[in-house]
A = this chain, B = another copy of it.
Amino acid sequence: MKVVKFGGSSLASAQQFQKVGKIITDDSDRRIVIVSAPGKRYDDDIKMTDLLISLAKSVTEETYNPRSLQLVMDRYEEIISELNLDKSLVETIRDGLIDLIEEYQQDEDRLMDALKASGENNNAKVMAAYLSSLGMEASYVSPKEAGMVVTNEPGNARILPEAYEKIASLRDREGILVIPGFFGYSKQGHIVTFPRGGSDITGSIIAAGVEADEYENFTDVDSIYSVNPNLVNNPREIKELTYREMRELAYSGFSVFHDEALQPVVSKGVPVCVKNTNHPEAPGTRIVGSRTVNGYPVVGIASDKGFCSINITKYLMNREVGFGRHLLEILEDEHISYEHTPSGIDNMSVIVRENQLENGNEEKILQRIRNELLVDDVQVEKDLAMVMVVGEGMAKTVGIASKATTALMEAGINIKMINQGSSEVSMMFGVDADQVDQAVTSLYHAFF
């Protein structure tokens, strides 16, 4: 049994619904379908979710009028009409939205959450109707019915452990189940949405809960690529990737979906397959617990800008028990999360995202480091970028570091930092932000 999730671009129009219909027809293992809200049909289009956010705001700001609601309804009406579905569905959706507005108009947060969630919810109803119209046995299953019991934190719901028992029983249901992504219900019965990547989270929870053979994640790219396609023409497609390789590649250029969402399937060992709704015959990228390395030791190269390094020196630092702990405590206290902490004998650096030091707290943090740790010097080095070279085959291949550093040298890149060894599957290079694209392409050409 497969759990299949379709993203917003896969459900943006009647034409996209038809592609999805064909995908589901083509494989009888595709038994549970998770849907997002309709996405953009073209570059300047407005996503359903954004229309719903505007609608919710118009209610709380008391500028609500029938036009705000009609903008939302237009999208559904177009899809329903082009798919030749029963027009009564339009009225069901409209009545449902009006009910939500009335129920929650006094509670800004709940209204926002409920209206945002309606984008997925109504799309699931449309999808169930469409699949039925194709002759399949398909039914809409609300998250409540599916067992999606979540914490009561609007916009930041987390699944409750007890949810999994009921979710597991979905295996026993007949036909195709269409479940809206992005939200669950609190114990009190309220609609509560997940954080960013919400439909992926629903799909991952359901796939883990029913112990699916595969979690298929349909989006609008053929596969995950070895490198950001904006940097290299026709980069190598990744056929298979381990969970940990995916995590090490989590920097930009690999944001096909939100990796935090995958925690449930990772913990159950359910393989994930990233596929393209517009090109479903492409094999896509499978993300698995372990894989056989054949050929390339490196699977991908990712990078990200916007880092800085807080560099600290103090004579005899390495003899000072508790120094590193105290430093990390100061950062935690100031709500700074860090990426890496390379250290020498008398020095230690902390790599953090630059935007964390932008609210005028940089001087305060440096002052605390000076005063509490009595350091000889502390400096902030800005405009750094990180490059990750990732692959399960790296640990067992001699000469990876040599190949990488030689490629960077030949491209004239000044390596500011190297961090290798904690992870068996990655090697990190710190470079100047303005050299990072060059660094990535030179590494790509060295390894592929």
Interface residues of A (CB under 8 A from B): 243-244, 247-248, 250, 259-260, 263, 266-267, 309, 311, 313, 315-316, 318-319, 321-322, 324-325, 328-329, 332, 337-349, 398-399, 401-402, 404-406, 408-409, 412, 414-423, 425-428, 430
Is the CB–CB distance between B316 and A263 below 8 Å? yes
With CB as the reference atom, state the residue of chain B lying closest to A415. Answer: B401
29 contacts between A and B (CB under 8 A): A243-B315, A244-B313, A244-B346, A247-B316, A250-B345, A263-B315, A263-B316, A267-B315, A311-B422, A340-B343, A341-B343, A342-B422, A343-B419, A344-B422, A344-B423, A344-B426, A344-B428, A347-B422, A398-B414, A401-B405, A401-B408, A402-B402, A402-B405, A402-B409, A405-B405, A406-B406, A416-B421, A417-B420, A421-B430
Please indicate the chain B residues that have their CB under 8 angstroms from the CB of A345 in the complex.
247-248, 250, 423, 426
A318: min CB distance to chain B, Å? 7
Please indicate the chain B residues that have their CB under 8 angstroms from the CB of A329 in the complex.
325
Please indicate the chain B residues that have their CB under 8 angstroms from the CB of A318 in the complex.
337, 339
Q: Please report the C-alpha to C-alpha distance between residue A305 and residue B266 in the assembled complex, in whole angstroms.
A: 37
Q: Please report the C-alpha to C-alpha distance between residue A422 and residue B351 in the assembled complex, in whole angstroms.
A: 10
Please indicate the chain B residues that have their CB under 8 angstroms from the CB of A421 in the complex.
309, 342, 349, 415-419, 430
A392: min CB distance to chain B, Å? 13
Q: Please report the C-alpha to C-alpha distance between residue A348 and residue B324 in the assembled complex, in whole angstroms.
A: 14
The residue that A337 contacts in the complex, of B321, B341, B422, B423, with Cβ under 8 A, is B321
Q: Please report the C-alpha to C-alpha distance between residue A167 and residue B322 in the assembled complex, in whole angstroms.
A: 33
Q: Please report the C-alpha to C-alpha distance between residue A419 and residue B321 in the assembled complex, in whole angstroms.
A: 21
Is the CB–CB distance between B406 and A402 below 8 Å? yes
| A325-B325, A325-B329, A421-B342 known; A398+B409 contact, CB < 8 A | yes
Is the CB–CB distance between B325 and A423 below 8 Å? no
Q: Please report the C-alpha to C-alpha distance between residue A316 and residue B338 in the assembled complex, in whole angstroms.
A: 13
Is the CB–CB distance between A418 and B419 below 8 Å? yes
A131: min CB distance to chain B, Å? 34
Is the CB–CB distance between B343 and A266 below 8 Å? no
- The 6 lowest CB-CB distance pairs between A and B, nearest first, are A417-B421, A344-B423, A325-B328, A402-B405, A401-B405, A349-B422
Please indicate the chain B residues that have their CB under 8 angstroms from the CB of A332 in the complex.
321-322, 325
| A325-B329, A398-B409, A408-B402 known; A342+B263 contact, CB < 8 A | no
Q: Please report the C-alpha to C-alpha distance between residue A343 and residue B416 in the assembled complex, in whole angstroms.
A: 16
A242: min CB distance to chain B, Å? 12
